Amino acid sequence: METKALHGYEIDEFSHDGLSREIFRVGTGPAVIVMSEMPGITPRVAEFGRKVAGIGCTAVLPSLFGTPGRSPSMGYLTSTLAKACISREFTSFLRNRTSPITKWLRALAAFEHGRCGGPGVGAVGMCFTGGFALGMMVDERMLAPVLSQPSLPLPFTKGTKRSLGISKKDLQIARDRVDDGVCVIGLRFSNDGMSPRERFDRLEEEFGEGFIGVEIDSSPGNPYRFSTRAHSVLTEEVIEEPGHPTQDALNLVLEHFKERLVI
């Protein structure tokens, strides 16, 4: 663990069904589970957690892979991704199946709701964890799900590009929750091949007006000079300037948590 980036966080451990992992908390108020992107809880992910804490919530960051606090690099990313792809906790390639780690995340959310109080919990997944908030909607405590550049199952075929990485049973429950008023937010860059447009098309088909999809232009020659490989909407690519599309996306997510969770 590299502690400098995690300044202000308290470190704890959560165990459920034989699986224990480190978790990092900052803030007070209703819980928001922040599931990091590859390669783990980077300094920018930790900074996002502090922003969640700044709106009156408790940001809870479970360490699902990688070294907490370590800055990203290509070698670090590649090695962490390779390990996660063969892990039984993640359904990296399978369609119509919810990743097994989601059960542990639901238990964590339930525990943090009991500890933090409030009307329910929020969750944001990023990249490899991007779709996990959908599976967490099985629990009625999940009131504010956010999917940032959801990348599982890895989009190598036409079918996996449209897949949401969730079982048919869990998807039906998520549909019912949306019908009851839960809103799902999704974020991606327009040229992001790891989080394809087809996946957002499917989310729109499944949830209709209950899905708010935000796409930031990363096409060649885009006015904000994003790389066509831009990927991390809420962390690595954020430019904190009024009116900048990444700042607008960040504000939308924070407002989503505030409206749904903070009394």
State the pLDDT at residue 97.
66
**Which residue numbers in the chain have pLDDT < 50?**
none
Q: What span, in angstroms and rounded, lies between the C-alpha atoms of 36 and 126?
A: 6
Positive or negative, the CA dihedral 42, 48, 50, 53 is: negative
> In the structure encoding, which two tokens stand for residue 222, read together?
């885009």
Question: What are the chain's domains?
Answer: 4-261 (3.40.50.1820)
Quick one: angle between helices 245-261 and 43-54, nearest 10? Answer: 50
pLDDT tens digits for range 25-75: 999 999 999 999 989 999 999 999 999 999 999 999 999 998 999 998 889
State the pLDDT at residue 79.
87
Q: State CA 135 to chain mean position distance.
A: 12
- Give me the residues paired with residue 213 across strands: 186
- Asked whether the beta carbons of 155 and 161 are under 8 A apart, the reply is yes
State the pLDDT at residue 94.
57
At 186, which helix (H) or strand (E)? Answer: strand 184-189
pLDDT tens digits for range 93-110: 556 667 888 999 999 999
Q: What span, in angstroms and rounded, lies between the C-alpha atoms of 14 and 41?
A: 16
SS3 216: strand
- Give me the residues paired with residue 32 across strands: 59, 122
Please give the DSSP secondary-structure letter assigned to residue 158: H
State the pLDDT at residue 89.
72
Phi (first) and psi of residue 129, to 5 degrees: -100, 5
Q: What span, in angstroms and rounded, lies between the C-alpha atoms of 44 and 35?
A: 13
Q: What span, in angstroms and rounded, lies between the C-alpha atoms of 136 and 146?
A: 11
State the pLDDT at residue 238.
97
